[in-house]
């Protein structure tokens, strides 16, 4: 009725099995006491092992590691045994008389039960002890790919830079990206935005690692951050050497896609030493870093660098408004306008805007705001929070500059007014005469000056306005003045009262200990009082209304080395007392209406730099004055001299006498000059002063009435010529060169006209100026009152070797005035990638412009012209006309 299973055993097997059971059961009873003792000992050893493991787990967890699951289970099982064993032993001791007597005890069955439980517990304890011999008790927990970092709730004005960096990380072939800019400009904020963007944007990166480096570079610290992020930190990590850690990081990271964000680096960070695979342009992994030093971008082999600029006005005002609060701004009708003035004083620097905004967030009275403006303009370091939160941070950049000379040159720039466009050449002239550049002589000293300026530009402590001018950010200038006022050098004291509205010079007691003083951009009219200033080395009096000076004004300035009187258009007569300044090495009279130089000027035997540029009123420079200034290194006479010269002036008779006097100046290495005859130019070019010829920076040929033809090839020998004026040469019909001949080949081969940036030609009979195509770096062209000029560039004149040359690739400004016959600038459309302004006036025949719909628009070109001229223009197509219509700015007369 179904399947039946059965089992059979032999009799001998059954008997043997029964005997083993009896013996085992008897052992439970006989060895109960001994087994209890062994259990107690083994249990104690288990607890000690448990404690050791727990300590290891605690240390690991403090390192952000996670205990292994098997360790967690083991500790849980030990916890159970920890409760059971003491309870069992306690029960046995409580029944000692009943069950510990073996077979002689009163209750064998009870003894047997407890004996069996003890043996089972003993086996469990011993097994747990064996299991607890762990090599590792925890493992590193791989962190989230991105750690969100705190970010200010409102960050404005950085979106375009953020978008550019993000494209580098996700689209473009860029592996290493540098963000550079001055302190407090928002580089860390921008890097934080980049970090947090990974949280919300799909990406393929395995790790996003953030590390703050700062000035004290520690590669070990960077290693630790990376190791922690990628899960390498364990018990053995600390015992490894730097190189071993580097190998471990490399083995892990070479097969991953990562982003490394390094904030605030000041020098090269060797990523390969740390162990990171260095990203190439085509790598999936990326490195983004911030620095205050542009030079670091090069050291880091950055494939692309972004300058983090100060905020534009609208964004700056938005940030300032947020920090002040609308309730304060609306508390009085006068405050908004005052607040805008305060915000402008911050120069768009976010750190300054935040600091000043917070300080003003409780000021409801207009007078408080007026006082804030006064303090920020006169002594910004005294404004609440500026010294501690702004200047002290910016000073890191100052302290990190490569030399004392570089630091001193930065402080020197603070002598110029706010927002002042500082001429690089002028600045280097001053430095040479101050003795800052004594390490070298001649051109080598000038090259050192250029190098110092580049260092300050790379440190983002100066701003490049153009190739020839720099600017100093207002807040950096305030920081420099703060440093100058707190310097420990008691023999170097600054007094800067530039642009503060002075109508007379400071009272005499303020001059006594000062070494460098700037009174630029004020309303001073006369230098009357004679101040006692025996330590004064530098005096800036430019951009005032000075018309004269007491002859004793300079009497107590025996140490004066640098004197600037430029941009004083009311100054007609040379201040006589200057001739007694025997220590003077630099004298700047440029852009004054001075009518002549005195004979006594020749007594300034230590003079190294004399600047007479744009002194159109000079009618007399006596003979043997310039030639007696034997120490002259830089003589600047571009656009110097009136049309009518006195007969005893060295400018009379075409300036030949001037050139002859220059030949005796053996130290002269920089020259800008105005010549009134081609013969004078020929004499200069044929002279033995070839170093001077080569380093002639500006040349003005004017009133050369008999000059009908001028050799372009001759001008090309002026290798460093930057500016050329050819004006009032009324008979000049041709600037000749054989465009298909050897001269052009030689000019191209030797980079002739490579330095030429500015050309002005007026009042001549020229019909074209095609030779300008040989100057690839032209930035400004002015053509005026050339009544025969028909074309700027004539393609018919060009030879094959320059037929395909694209002219005006760097042109920024083109001014055309009074050119009645001009019909063409260039016969084809040109890209004009840098053109900012085109000004056309009284050019009725110019009816076509060399534009198509893509020319010059990236720079937001402005076209200035009269409406009738604009309406008569002929466009290649409607798209081009539409593209340029917004560019017109109508001239009215």
**Count of CB atoms situated within 10 Å of the CB of 355:** 23
Strands 758-762 and 734-736: unpaired
Q: Which two tokens stand for residue 284?
A: 């999936």
Q: Output the average pLDDT for the chain.
A: 88
pLDDT at 454 over 70: yes
Q: Which residue has the higher pLDDT, 155 or 47?
A: 47
Confidence at 141, pLDDT banded by 50, 70, 90: low
The pLDDT score that the predictor gives to residue 34 is 81
> 472: how many CB neighbours lie within 10 A of its CB?
24
Are the CB atoms for 446 and 670 separated by under 8 Å? yes
How open is the CA angle 851-853-855, to the nearest 5 degrees? 50
**More confident site: 836 or 204:** 836
Confidence bin at 611 (pLDDT 50/70/90): very high
Give me the mean pLDDT over the 720-731 stretch.
95
Q: Quickly state the pLDDT bin for 17 (edges 50, 70, 90).
A: very low
- CB-based contacts of 529, cutoff 8 Å, min separation 6: 504, 505, 507, 508, 550, 553
Reported as a pLDDT band with limits 50, 70 and 90, residue 489 is low
What 3-state DSSP class applies to 307? strand
Quick one: tokens of 293? 């030093």
8 A C-beta contact, residue 651 and residue 641: yes
Architecture in CATH of 313-378: Orthogonal Bundle (1.10)
- Identify the CATH number of the domain defined by range 159-307: 3.40.50.300
Q: Which residue has the higher pLDDT, 225 or 629?
A: 629
Query: What is the three-class DSSP state of 724?
Result: strand
Residue with tokens 């006022």: 485
Q: What's the mean pLDDT in 159-186?
A: 92
pTM for this prediction: 0.79
Out of 267-276, 377-386, 418-427, 553-562, least confident range: 377-386
Q: How many CB atoms lie within 10 A of CB 746?
A: 12
| b/e per residue 240-270 (b: at least 16 CB within 10 A) | eeeeebbebbeebbeeeebbbbbbbbbeebe
Q: How far is CA 192 from CA 4, 158, 388, in A?
A: 79, 12, 24
> Which residue pairs, CB below 8 angstroms and at least 24 apart, start in 486-493?
491/515, 491/535, 492/516, 493/535
The answer on pLDDT for 102 being more than 60 is no
- Which pLDDT does position 833 carry in this prediction? 92
Most confident of 114-123, 609-618, 802-811: 609-618
Domain extent listing, the chain: 14-140, 159-307, 313-378, 388-488, 705-893
pLDDT tens readout for residues 356-415: 999 999 999 999 999 999 999 888 988 898 998 899 999 999 999 999 999 999 999 999
Residue 525: pLDDT band with limits 50, 70, 90:
very high
State residue 798's pLDDT score: 77
Q: What is the maximum span of the chain, computed from C-alpha positions, in angstroms?
A: 152
Q: What is the mean pLDDT of residues 251-265?
A: 90
Report the pLDDT value the prediction gives residue 355, as an integer from 0 to 100. 93
pLDDT higher than 50, residue 15: no
Instruction: Map residue 785 onto helix, strand or coil.
Output: coil
pLDDT digits (tens, 9 = 90+) for 65-97: 778 878 888 998 989 888 888 888 887 777 766
Lowest-pLDDT choice from 167-171, 230-234, 278-282, 784-788: 230-234
For 388-488, CATH gives 1.10.10.10
- Cα–Cα distance for residue pair 556/541, rounded to 1 Å: 17
């Amino acid at each position: 009725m179904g399947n039946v299973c059965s089992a059979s055993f032999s009799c001998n097997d059954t008997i043997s099995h029964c005997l083993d059971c009896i013996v085992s059961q008897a052992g439970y009873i006989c060895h109960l006491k001994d087994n209890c003792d062994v259990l107690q000992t083994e249990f104690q050893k288990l607890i000690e092992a448990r404690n050791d493991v727990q300590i290891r787990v605690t240390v690991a967890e403090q390192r952000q590691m996670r205990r292994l699951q098997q360790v967690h289970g083991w500790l849980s099982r030990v916890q159970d045994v920890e409760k059971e064993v003491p309870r069992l032993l306690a029960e046995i001791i409580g029944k000692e008389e009943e069950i510990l007597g073996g077979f002689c005890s009163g209750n064998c069955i009870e003894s047997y039960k407890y004996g069996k439980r003890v043996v089972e517990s003993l086996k469990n304890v011993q097994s747990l002890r064996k299991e607890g011999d762990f090599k590792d008790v925890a493992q590193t927990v791989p962190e989230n790919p991105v750690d969100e970092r705190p970010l200010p709730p409102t960050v404005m004005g950085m979106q375009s830079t953020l978008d550019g960096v993000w494209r580098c990380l996700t689209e473009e072939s860029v592996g290493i990206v540098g963000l550079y800019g001055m302190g407090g400009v928002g580089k860390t904020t921008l890097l934080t935005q980049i970090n947090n963007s990974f949280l919300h944007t799909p990406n393929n990166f395995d790790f996003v690692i953030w590390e703050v480096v700062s000035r004290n570079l520690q590669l070990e610290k960077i290693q630790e951050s990376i190791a922690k992020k990628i899960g390498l930190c364990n018990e053995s990590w600390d015992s490894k050497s730097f190189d071993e850690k580097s190998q471990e990081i490399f083995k892990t990271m070479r097969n991953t896609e990562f982003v490394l964000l390094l904030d605030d680096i000041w020098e090269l960070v060797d990523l390969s030493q740390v162990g990171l695979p260095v990203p190439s342009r085509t790598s999936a992994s990326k490195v983004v870093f911030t620095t205050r030093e542009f030079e670091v971008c090069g050291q880091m082999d950055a494939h692309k660098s972004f300058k983090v600029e100060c905020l534009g006005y609208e964004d700056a005002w938005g940030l300032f408004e947020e920090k002040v609060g609308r309730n304060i701004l609306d508390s009085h009708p006068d405050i908004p306008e005052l607040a805008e003035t305060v915000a402008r004083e911050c120069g768009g620097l976010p750190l300054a805007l935040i600091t000043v905004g917070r300080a003003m967030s409780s000021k409801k009275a207009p007078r408080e705001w007026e006082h804030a403006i006064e303090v920020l303009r006169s002594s910004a370091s005294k404004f609440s929070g500026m010294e501690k939160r702004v200047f002290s941070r910016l000073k890191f950049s100052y302290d990190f500059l490569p030399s004392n000379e570089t630091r001193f040159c930065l402080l020197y720039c603070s002598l110029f007014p706010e927002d002042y466009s500082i001429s690089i050449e002028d600045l280097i002239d001053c430095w040479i005469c101050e003795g800052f550049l004594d390490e070298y002589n001649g051109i080598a000293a000038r090259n050192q000056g250029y190098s110092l300026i580049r260092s300050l530009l790379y440190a983002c402590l100066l701003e490049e306005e153009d190739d020839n001018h720099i600017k100093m950010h207002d807040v950096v200038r305030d920081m420099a003045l703060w440093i100058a006022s707190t310097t420990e050098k008691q023999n170097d004291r600054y007094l800067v009262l530039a642009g503060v509205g002075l109508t007379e010079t400071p009272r005499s007691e303020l001059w006594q200990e000062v070494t460098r003083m700037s009174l630029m951009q004020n309303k001073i009219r006369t230098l009357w009082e004679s101040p006692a200033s025996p330590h004064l080395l530098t005096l800036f009096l430019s951009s005032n209304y000075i018309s004269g000076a007491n002859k004793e004004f300079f009497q107590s300035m025996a140490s004066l080395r640098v004197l600037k009187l430029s941009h004083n258009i009311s100054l007609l007569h040379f201040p006589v007392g200057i001739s007694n300044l025997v220590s003077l090495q630099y004298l700047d009279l440029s852009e004054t209406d001075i009518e002549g130089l005195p004979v006594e000027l020749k007594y300034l035997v230590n003079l190294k730099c004399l600047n007479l540029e744009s002194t159109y009123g000079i009618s007399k420079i006596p003979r043997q004055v310039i030639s007696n200034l034997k120490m002259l290194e830089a003589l600047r006479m571009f656009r110097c001299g009136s049309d009518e010269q006195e007969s005893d002036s060295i400018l009379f008779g075409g300036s030949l006498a001037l050139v002859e006097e220059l030949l005796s100046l053996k130290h002269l290495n920089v020259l800008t000059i105005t010549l009134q005859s081609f013969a004078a130019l020929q004499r200069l070019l044929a002279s033995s002063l070839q170093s001077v010829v080569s380093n002639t920076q500006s040349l003005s040929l004017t009133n050369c009435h008999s000059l009908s033809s001028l050799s372009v090839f001759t001008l090309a020998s002026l290798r460093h010529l930057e500016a050329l004026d050819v004006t009032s040469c009324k008979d000049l019909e041709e600037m000749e060169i054989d465009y298909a001949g050897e001269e052009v080949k030689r000019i191209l081969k030797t980079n002739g006209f490579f330095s030429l940036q500015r050309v002005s030609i007026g009042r001549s009979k020229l019909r074209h100026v095609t030779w300008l195509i040989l100057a690839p770096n032209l930035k400004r062209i002015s053509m005026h009152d050339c009544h025969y000029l028909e074309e700027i560039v004539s393609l018919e004149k060009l030879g094959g070797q320059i037929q395909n040359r694209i002219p005006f690739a760097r042109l920024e400004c083109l001014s055309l005035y009074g050119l009645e016959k001009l019909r063409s600038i260039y016969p084809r459309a040109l890209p004009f990638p840098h053109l900012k302004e085109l000004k056309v006036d009284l050019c009725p025949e110019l009816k076509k412009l060399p534009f198509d719909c893509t020319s010059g628009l990236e720079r937001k070109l402005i076209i200035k012209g009269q409406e009738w001229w604009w309406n008569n223009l002929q466009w290649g197509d409607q798209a081009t006309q539409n593209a340029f219509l917004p560019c017109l700015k109508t001239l009215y007369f």
